[in-house]
Amino acid sequence: MTRITRLSITALTAFAFVIMWGAPAQADQGTVLKYSQLPGYLIDPLDMLISGENIPSDVDWNALNAASPTQPPPQPNWIIADDFRDPFNTPVLTVRWWGSYVGPTFQQVGGAVTPIFGPGSEDGYVLSFFKDQPVDPLNPFSRPDELLASYIAPFGAVKVTPTTHVGWDGHEIWQYEVNFQDTHLEHAVAGFADQIGFNQQPGEVYWLSINAEVGHTLVAVTNPDGTTSWIEQDTGKFAIPGNDPLNPDGHFWGWHTSPEAFNDVATMGHLLMGPNGEWIYPQQDWRPIQPNHGLNDMAFQLLTIPEPATAVLIGIGLMLIHSRQRSIIG
């Protein structure tokens, strides 16, 4: 599947850049917090009961595209999503999240297959937003519904920072951050998503999924006319399922859990590619995650830049939300 998309960038946010693999990223567009579920070490670094673990959320891009959409997805193929709600009428411009490397990816160098572990073993991230399917007589748990937006973030667009902390599962925790203006908007429902950010309605429940990908990246090039072309490239990297009996699906990255909980628990689903390259998150595949350590929600924050007059109100509102809507599991 080859995609070459040309996007117009407004003068307010346009800048000349070429995202190359491994290039440094500065994710600082969103500076005001809209929504927050922190990892345990930022709440109490000494309390191992809330230290959390990493739920695999990753795909092998080439295996995914080579598979038939009518067959079970080739592993690794887990998509983790969590729900959120905030009362503010400001777009999500930046996402910050936490995760860990739970296994290697691989690349053939000469005649040898070489494992790669840690930052850069992945080629990027996919961040998708969904409407909410609430609990009803036919749905015993809430889950993602209609896909509203998908952003592909090449690894070079993501700011990756070590935390020096480890989770309950023993994996080092890393912090990630990306501005949507530095990503490729792959899928958008009009009114909800654009190249700058996700425009949620205040007070509505939505779902956010975050997954790592390997085998594929996008390179952004600014054209002389000011538009941006995204060129798809094969990185030659891949996952190997069945190589490790402790990691039979070949997972290489996991989203870290949070002791801060909202509404329903996080869910796990799959990503398929349709016959025309459309992204399919099968509704029937979503199911609640089954963590080993008892924390059922994911660690992430949503950031924005509000109108100056609303900045103080947002700060007060977030304090009230945190005190009234969060529960600490431990």
At 163-194, the pLDDT tens digits run 999 999 999 999 999 999 999 999 999 999 99
111 vs 120, 127, 181, CA distance in Å? 21, 35, 39
Single pTM value for the model: 0.84
Query: How far apart are alpha carbons 184 and 1 in whole angstroms?
Result: 16
Over the chain, what is the mean pLDDT? 84
User: With bands split at pLDDT 50, 70 and 90, how would you rate the model's confidence at 51?
Assistant: confident
Question: Which residue in the block uniquely carries the two structure tokens 């924390």?
Answer: 295
More confident residue, 247 or 313: 247
Q: Which is nearest to 66 in space by CA: 241, 271, 273?
A: 273
Beta-bridge mates of residue 116: 105
Q: Which two tokens stand for residue 51?
A: 């230290």
Contacts of 308 (CB under 8 A, 6+ apart): none
pLDDT class of 9 with cuts at 50, 70, 90: very low
Query: What is residue 189's predicted lDDT score, i.e. its pLDDT?
Result: 95
In this structure, the number of other CB atoms found within 10 A of the CB of residue 189 comes to: 13
Q: What percent of the chain has pLDDT over 70?
A: 84
